[in-house]
Protein backbone atom coordinates (compact mmCIF):
# COMPACT_ATOMS: atom_id res chain seq x y z
CA UNK A 1 0.00 0.00 0.00
CA UNK A 2 2.88 2.38 0.72
CA UNK A 3 4.07 2.10 -2.89
CA UNK A 4 0.77 3.57 -4.09
CA UNK A 5 1.78 7.00 -2.76
CA UNK A 6 5.49 6.94 -1.92
CA UNK A 7 8.90 5.70 -3.00
CA UNK A 8 10.24 5.75 0.54
CA UNK A 9 12.83 2.99 1.08
CA UNK A 10 11.39 -0.11 2.75
CA UNK A 11 13.51 -2.60 4.66
CA UNK A 12 11.82 -5.68 6.06
CA UNK A 13 13.28 -6.81 9.37
CA UNK A 14 11.85 -10.20 10.32
CA UNK A 15 12.43 -13.62 11.81
CA UNK A 16 10.98 -15.25 8.70
CA UNK A 17 13.95 -16.81 6.91
CA UNK A 18 12.22 -18.90 4.27
CA UNK A 19 13.08 -17.98 0.67
CA UNK A 20 9.38 -17.79 -0.19
CA UNK A 21 8.86 -15.16 2.52
CA UNK A 22 11.78 -13.12 1.20
CA UNK A 23 10.47 -13.30 -2.37
CA UNK A 24 7.00 -12.30 -1.23
CA UNK A 25 8.48 -9.27 0.58
CA UNK A 26 10.34 -8.12 -2.53
CA UNK A 27 7.31 -8.72 -4.76
CA UNK A 28 5.25 -6.51 -2.48
CA UNK A 29 7.67 -3.60 -2.80
CA UNK A 30 10.44 -4.04 -0.24
CA UNK A 31 13.86 -2.69 -1.18
CA UNK A 32 15.80 -4.86 1.25
CA UNK A 33 15.20 -7.79 3.59
CA UNK A 34 17.12 -8.66 6.76
CA UNK A 35 16.41 -11.63 9.01
CA UNK A 36 16.88 -12.00 12.76
CA UNK A 37 19.24 -12.41 14.40
CA UNK A 38 21.11 -9.59 12.71
CA UNK A 39 24.25 -7.56 13.25
CA UNK A 40 23.45 -3.96 14.26
CA UNK A 41 26.31 -2.63 12.12
CA UNK A 42 24.90 -4.44 9.09
CA UNK A 43 21.45 -2.98 9.74
CA UNK A 44 22.92 0.53 9.94
CA UNK A 45 24.90 -0.03 6.73
CA UNK A 46 21.81 -1.27 4.88
CA UNK A 47 19.77 1.71 6.07
CA UNK A 48 22.48 4.14 4.95
CA UNK A 49 22.66 2.44 1.55
CA UNK A 50 18.88 2.64 1.12
CA UNK A 51 18.84 6.32 2.04
CA UNK A 52 21.75 7.05 -0.29
CA UNK A 53 19.91 5.44 -3.20
CA UNK A 54 16.67 7.24 -2.31
CA UNK A 55 18.24 10.72 -2.22
CA UNK A 56 17.92 12.78 -5.37
CA UNK A 57 20.88 12.04 -7.59
CA UNK A 58 23.41 14.75 -8.30
CA UNK A 59 22.99 13.95 -12.00
CA UNK A 60 19.25 14.63 -11.89
CA UNK A 61 19.80 17.88 -10.02
CA UNK A 62 22.67 19.15 -12.17
CA UNK A 63 20.88 18.21 -15.37
CA UNK A 64 17.84 20.13 -14.18
CA UNK A 65 15.76 17.00 -14.16
CA UNK A 66 12.63 16.01 -12.36
CA UNK A 67 12.99 14.88 -8.75
CA UNK A 68 10.24 13.25 -6.69
CA UNK A 69 10.49 12.94 -2.94
CA UNK A 70 7.37 11.55 -1.33
CA UNK A 71 4.43 13.70 -2.38
CA UNK A 72 6.65 16.50 -3.73
CA UNK A 73 7.83 16.60 -7.35
CA UNK A 74 10.14 19.32 -8.62
CA UNK A 75 10.85 20.00 -12.28
CA UNK A 76 14.06 22.03 -12.22
CA UNK A 77 13.97 22.82 -15.97
CA UNK A 78 10.51 24.37 -15.79
CA UNK A 79 10.93 25.69 -12.23
CA UNK A 80 7.69 24.00 -11.20
CA UNK A 81 6.78 22.09 -8.07
CA UNK A 82 3.88 19.74 -7.49
CA UNK A 83 2.20 18.52 -4.31
CA UNK A 84 0.64 15.09 -4.87
CA UNK A 85 0.60 15.78 -8.61
CA UNK A 86 -1.13 19.15 -8.28
CA UNK A 87 0.90 22.21 -9.33
CA UNK A 88 2.03 24.30 -6.38
CA UNK A 89 1.98 27.96 -7.36
CA UNK A 90 5.37 28.92 -5.91
CA UNK A 91 6.78 32.43 -5.98
CA UNK A 92 10.35 32.74 -7.30
CA UNK A 93 11.99 32.82 -3.87
CA UNK A 94 9.80 29.96 -2.62
CA UNK A 95 10.97 27.80 -5.53
CA UNK A 96 14.59 28.84 -4.90
CA UNK A 97 14.23 27.86 -1.23
CA UNK A 98 12.77 24.47 -2.14
CA UNK A 99 15.53 23.90 -4.70
CA UNK A 100 18.22 24.77 -2.14
CA UNK A 101 16.72 22.31 0.33
CA UNK A 102 16.36 19.49 -2.20
CA UNK A 103 19.92 19.94 -3.45
CA UNK A 104 21.19 19.40 0.11
CA UNK A 105 18.75 17.12 1.95
CA UNK A 106 19.38 16.85 5.67
CA UNK A 107 21.70 19.88 5.74
CA UNK A 108 20.63 22.43 8.33
CA UNK A 109 20.54 25.97 6.92
CA UNK A 110 20.60 28.95 9.25
CA UNK A 111 18.52 31.96 8.23
CA UNK A 112 21.76 33.64 7.21
CA UNK A 113 22.72 30.64 5.04
CA UNK A 114 19.37 30.83 3.26
CA UNK A 115 19.66 34.60 2.79
CA UNK A 116 23.10 34.08 1.23
CA UNK A 117 22.00 31.21 -0.99
CA UNK A 118 18.55 32.35 -2.11
CA UNK A 119 18.38 36.13 -1.83
CA UNK A 120 22.01 37.13 -2.37
CA UNK A 121 23.16 34.35 -4.74
CA UNK A 122 26.25 33.77 -2.57
CA UNK A 123 27.61 37.22 -3.45
CA UNK A 124 30.84 38.48 -1.92
CA UNK A 125 29.06 41.36 -0.16
CA UNK A 126 26.58 38.99 1.46
CA UNK A 127 27.60 39.61 5.10
CA UNK A 128 26.96 43.36 4.82
CA UNK A 129 23.72 42.76 2.94
CA UNK A 130 22.53 40.24 5.55
CA UNK A 131 23.24 42.72 8.32
CA UNK A 132 21.03 45.27 6.55
CA UNK A 133 18.28 42.79 5.64
CA UNK A 134 15.28 41.69 7.67
CA UNK A 135 16.34 38.10 8.36
CA UNK A 136 12.78 37.17 9.40
CA UNK A 137 11.75 37.29 5.75
CA UNK A 138 13.17 33.77 5.61
CA UNK A 139 10.62 32.61 8.20
CA UNK A 140 7.76 34.16 6.23
CA UNK A 141 8.87 32.47 3.01
CA UNK A 142 9.33 29.12 4.78
CA UNK A 143 5.80 29.38 6.19
CA UNK A 144 4.35 30.15 2.76
CA UNK A 145 6.36 27.33 1.15
CA UNK A 146 5.08 24.87 3.75
CA UNK A 147 1.50 25.98 3.08
CA UNK A 148 1.98 25.20 -0.60
CA UNK A 149 3.90 21.91 -0.51
CA UNK A 150 3.29 20.21 2.83
CA UNK A 151 0.25 17.94 3.18
CA UNK A 152 -0.29 19.34 6.68
CA UNK A 153 1.61 22.64 7.06
CA UNK A 154 1.03 22.67 10.82
CA UNK A 155 2.87 19.33 11.05
CA UNK A 156 5.46 19.47 8.26
CA UNK A 157 7.10 16.26 7.08
CA UNK A 158 9.63 17.71 4.61
CA UNK A 159 10.67 21.24 5.54
CA UNK A 160 11.69 20.86 9.13
CA UNK A 161 12.80 23.30 11.83
CA UNK A 162 15.80 22.67 14.03
CA UNK A 163 14.92 24.88 16.98
CA UNK A 164 17.30 27.82 17.51
CA UNK A 165 19.43 26.71 14.54
CA UNK A 166 17.54 26.79 11.26
CA UNK A 167 15.73 24.69 8.67
CA UNK A 168 16.39 21.47 6.78
CA UNK A 169 14.74 19.21 4.21
CA UNK A 170 13.76 15.70 5.29
CA UNK A 171 14.16 13.49 2.23
pLDDT tens by residue, 40-88: 999 888 888 887 776 655 555 555 678 888 889 998 888 999 999 899 9
Rounded distance between C-alpha atoms, residue 12 and residue 35, angstroms = 8
Phi and psi dihedrals of 11, rounded to 5? -120, 125
pLDDT tens by residue, 89-119: 999 999 999 999 988 888 999 998 998 888 8
Give the pLDDT of residue 168.
93
Q: Give the list of residues 6+ apart from residue 139 with CB closer than 8 angstroms, or none.
A: 111
Task: Give yes or no for residue 7 having a pLDDT over 90.
Answer: no
Rounded distance between C-alpha atoms, residue 119 and residue 129, angstroms = 10
- Listing DSSP states for 77-103 in one string gives TTTEEEETTEEE---HHHHHHHHHHHH
Enumerate the β-bridge partners of residue 161: 167
Phi and psi dihedrals of 153, rounded to 5? -55, -30
Amino acid sequence: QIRQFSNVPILILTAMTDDEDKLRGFERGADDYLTKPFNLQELKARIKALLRRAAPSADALSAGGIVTIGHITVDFNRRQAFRSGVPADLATKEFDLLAAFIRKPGVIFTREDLMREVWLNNSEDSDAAIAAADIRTVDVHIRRLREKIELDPANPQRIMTRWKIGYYFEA
